Structure 1
Amino acid sequence: MPLISAILDIIYLPFSVFVFLLVSLSAINKSVGVRRAYVKLLLKVFEYGRQSIETASEQIKDGGPVVENIIDGYKVNSANHSSQYESNDKSKSNGSVLISRDSVLQPTLQTNHTSAKDGVESTQKLKDEINFDLETCLDYIRTGVEAIIEDEVTSRFEAEELKSWNLLTRTNRHYEFISWKITLIWMIGFTIRYFILMPLRVFVCFLGVVWLTVCTAIVGCLSEGDYKREMVNKVLRHCFSVLSSAISAVIIYHNAENRPTKGICVANHTSPIDVLVLMSDTTYSLIGQRHGGFLGIMQRALARASPHIWFERGEAKDRHAVAERLRQHVSDPSNPPILIFPEGTCINNTSVMQFKKGSFEVGGVIYPVAIKYDPRFGDAFWNSSKYSMIQYLYMMMTSWAIVCDVWYLPPMYRQEGESAVDFANRVKSVIAKQGGLVDLVWDGQLKRMKPKKEWKEMQQIEFTKRLKGD
């Protein structure tokens, strides 16, 4: 017993010092660069692993049977020792090979027209007269076959495929036993992630949630005014900095001069961590559906300190009620900028999908923000249809780290005569361009629902007219 007690004392002392330093540094929003050095070390390990995998594959190829190994997107044939990059009219999007599409079967951009027939007629005016040709139907056959193989929508709701292995079994290509060196590195990494980092991160997360609840309860008792707003900003930045340590987050903010100060802030959406990433730098008001469980605890804690808009499930479907509460919030200059994710669902950070027009109808200034995660260290995407929140947090805390870049873009205003849909598309294209994301016109709700009937009818009408030669 004395020996065990002595060992626990030895472990407890540095652990206590670490937690104290973590909270202290977060309180003054400072960093000593440990996480950045950790990320740089990981990059060197990944590069060494990539070279070792290539070397081991070459040895297998030289002395083994005819096999095909996929390494970093290349197809290596061991029979003729040749490497050929598979293109065949395919484009890189989410790290995997994606078949490119033409305009066939693409939904038209939203306009003020409500009739599918009017939309087709306006599209036809832009085209030259098409004479009947039997080959016309081949475009639809090819597009249909390609969509069955791999379409550009459903691939956005799956984890991004990496070019090279990052030593995580969830992105495994069966490389952990390809050589004894890789096996040793993988076992060491597994031990570090599950027996050192994970317990520490769980403790820090628990500490951060408790600390957030206590701090917001205290500042919530202050009287309204400039002092309270200043204290709320400092307290929330401090609390979210502590929480970001629970996932070893390394966040780089660009163009701080464009940081939102009022109005509406819109950003591409990858996971609930997006809120943590942005709130670690400044305070936002949030809008969304009320939740239970872990997210519910966070919502109630935040509501004590600053104004947020939470809806019940039934109320969230009332667009007019949502728009009215948004206008009320934006009209008060003392309120923080409200953070909105117009896509309405999580996308795997390879593209930006259709922005809902509701937040662009309110008026006022829009602050675009582009968020891009580095998937090599850990996949931040939350596939809510596959994983629960607890499972997702478990995956985050057993990843190497969460590394991302945040770009604050110049404020944008709705131009005279510009529809809310056109304004939303303009903002979306700016975010996609800055974040290096693919700009898609598809609705992200296709993750949960079937394509609209109008889209099908539009394609049927167009196909009929092409066959008739109209």
Structure 2
Amino acid sequence: MSVTEAAPNGVARTTSAQFHSFLPGLTMPAGHAAAAADDLAELTDREVEQAYVAAEEERLLGHSHSLLTDMLSIEGVLADAAAAVVDDSFNKCFTSTPSDPWNWNLYLFPMWLLGVVFRYVILFPLRLFGLIACFAAFFLMFFPVKALWPPGRTKLAVEQRLIRFMCGGFVLSWTGVIRFHGPRPIRGAGRVWVANHTSMIDYIILSSYSAFAVIMQLHSGWVGFLQTQCLDSLGCLWFNRTEVKDRHLVAQRMRQHVHADATPLLIFPEGTCVNNEYCVMFKRGAFEMDAVVHPIAIKYNKIFVDAFWNSRRQSFTQHLLKLMTSWAVVADVYFLEPQRRREGEGTDGFASRVQEMIARKANLRVVPWDGYLKYYNLGEKHPGLIEKRRRVYADVLRKYLRPSEAGGGAGAGGARPGSGGGGRAAGVGRVEEGEEEGEQQQQQQQRPNGAASPETKKVN
């Protein structure tokens, strides 16, 4: 069986067989394979629902033997249970670890309360004032340089220093205690830097030490303003992770940037923020360019604050406020030994080897999940699939009923036992017809004795 079929516009479409291969249940976040996100991004909502219903029909109708077997089969329930377990292990990578309470006793609670007052009433206003002052100084210097200075290496060097100054202002506002280990990155063609990703502050911390161009999701608001008006001067590349075309275009521009003598390019191969306890699957883009890969391991100490940014629950502004009201952000940054692809080593093997290096240094647990798929939950995006799945199961049972029991003939969806594909041919539409007839019968039963239907009154 072919797993893809050509659509009218030339884009390959996912068939039910391929769809079912990475969507075992509604609770599972759309499978965990590298190609799954691209396949789903190319499908419309209606095509996703149709493919899922077709896959479910194929699973239920293709292996049925008897009414008793189909009614007592727990195959689907077990598959959903396994999917839920996988879902839980997947979500562990993107949730903050709750801290153990330590201050609920008579002698520690007053000290903790004084600390809260000091952080919010004294420390936070001072940090906010310092950040605003840094921003004001940065804007007063950066935009005149950007508008008036002629293009060239000198202008780029000045802009890089100013952006380092701005990032240093951010680190100052958290009272950041950052320790850098290893040689400072230097520009050069054929080099790329890759790092594990916990928050957008990863880039801020690294850029306060050495200027980097970065590949990043384009945001809105004041963050988007800084991205498009300030960081663009470094050659940063922006994209929308839900747009496949954006990702393909960025991949082309990324290769051009790496092989030019430009600002060092920083890539977060995980593609999303992870909670600094796990390391999800690395995308292959950074490892396909025949460039020297410089791994960077970033490890945060959670003694004062958890630096993980859960973008599904808080905006970046809220995330910054949490950091600015903590005692300090403590982190270690390790610039590891540059790596080249070994002879006979594939792209996936190269990416896995670099991932292992970073995870080992930062004490992270490597898991095989694709981080992009945390943004795609089948049950949330297509809630109607739950009802459609029930109808498919009802369709399986209907094929064992006699035509009269199924609601009156083939139009109601009945098929004799052993007819096999007769139930599949009618599909979900047959179930809907049976439901309409059931509603009409219920209305007739609710009428008083002797009451005529509207059609009868009209004839009389």
| Contact 1:352–1:437 (CA under 8 A) maintained in structure 2 | yes
Given the alignment, which residue of 215, 239, 257 partners 1:311? 239
TM-score by length of 1: 0.59
Q: Give the equivalent residue in structure 1 for 2:202.
A: 274
Bigger shift: residues 255-264 or 181-190: 255-264
Deviation at 1:177, TM superposition (A): 3.6
2:279 and 2:365 in contact (8 A); partners too: yes
* C-alpha spacing 1:143/1:435, structure 2 compared with 1 (3 Å): farther
CA distance in 1, matches of 2:92, 2:104: 29
| Mean CA deviation greater in 238-247 or 409-418 | 409-418
Q: What residue is the counterpart of 2:157 in the other structure?
A: 230
Tell which deviates more after alignment, 182-191 or 227-236: 227-236
Does the residue aligned with 1:379 lie in a helix, a strand or coil? coil
Q: Secondary structure of the equivalent of 1:153?
A: helix
Q: CA deviation at 1:370?
A: 0.4
Query: 1 CA distance for matches of 2:232 and 2:304?
Result: 35
> For residues 312 and 145 of structure 1, what CA distance do their matches in structure 2 show?
32
The aligned amino acid for 2:237 is I
- Superposition map of 1:45-444 within 5 A: 148=85, 151-162=88-99, 165=100, 173=101, 175-179=102-106, 181-220=107-146, 221-256=148-183, 263-303=191-231, 305-311=233-239, 317-333=245-261, 335-444=262-371
Q: CA deviation at 1:298?
A: 1.6
Specify the code of the residue in structure 1 equivalent to 2:313. K
In structure 2, how many angstroms separate the alpha carbons of the residues matched to 1:428 and 1:366?
Answer: 11
Please give the alpha-carbon distance, in whole angstroms, between the structure 1 residues aligned to 2:248 and 2:187: 25
Which residue identity is paired with 1:275? Y
Question: Which secondary structure does the structure 2 equivalent of 1:242 belong to?
Answer: helix
Q: Secondary structure at the match of 2:230?
A: helix
**Alpha-carbon spacing, 1:212–1:435, altered in 2? closer, same or farther (3 Å):** same
Q: Which moved more, 1:217-226 or 1:273-282?
A: 217-226
1:7-35: CA deviation from partner (whole Å, max 9, x where unpaired): xxxxxxxxxxxxxxxxxxxxxxxxxxxxx
TM score, norm. by length of structure 2: 0.60
Relative to structure 1, the CA distance from residue 240 to residue 159 in structure 2 (aligned partners, 3 Å threshold; closer, same or farther) is: same
What is the CA distance between 1:247 and its match in structure 2? 1.1
Give the RMSD, CA atoms, in angstroms. 3.3
Residue 261 to residue 283, structure 1, CA distance change in 2 (3 Å): farther
Secondary structure of the structure 1 residue equivalent to 2:298: strand
SS in structure 1 at match of 2:179: strand
Worse-superposed segment, 400-409 or 435-444: 435-444
Q: Secondary structure at the match of 1:378?
A: coil
| C-alpha separation in 1, matches of 2:265 and 2:194 | 8
- Please list every run of 5 or more consecutive structure 2 residues that lacks an aligned counterpart in the other structure: 1-30, 40-73, 379-460
Q: 1:183 to 1:285 in 2, by over 3 A?
A: same
2:11 maps to none
Q: 1:159: how far off?
A: 0.9
On the 8 A contact 1:345/1:445 being kept in 2, the answer is yes
Q: Tell me how far apart the structure 1 counterparts of residues 33 and 239 of structure 2 sit (CA, whole Å).
A: 31
Deviations 1:178-234 (A, max 9, x none): 21x211111110111110111122222222333333332233232333322332333
Q: Note the 1:449-468 alignment, pairs <5 A.
A: 449-450=376-377
Whole-angstrom CA distance in 2 between matches of 1:289 and 1:449: 16
Structure 1 residue 141 displacement after superposition? 7.7
Write the letter of the residue equivalent to 2:116.
F
* Number of residue pairs matched by the alignment: 310
The higher radius of gyration belongs to 2
Change (3 A) 1:108 1:448: closer
Q: Deviations over 1:368-392 (max 9, x none)?
A: 1000000111111011111122221
Structure 1 contact 219–305 (Cα < 8 Å) conserved = no
Is the alpha carbon distance of 1:260 and 1:373 closer, same or farther for their aligned partners in structure 2, counting shifts above 3 Å?
farther
Q: Distance in 1 between matches of 2:361 and 2:269?
A: 17
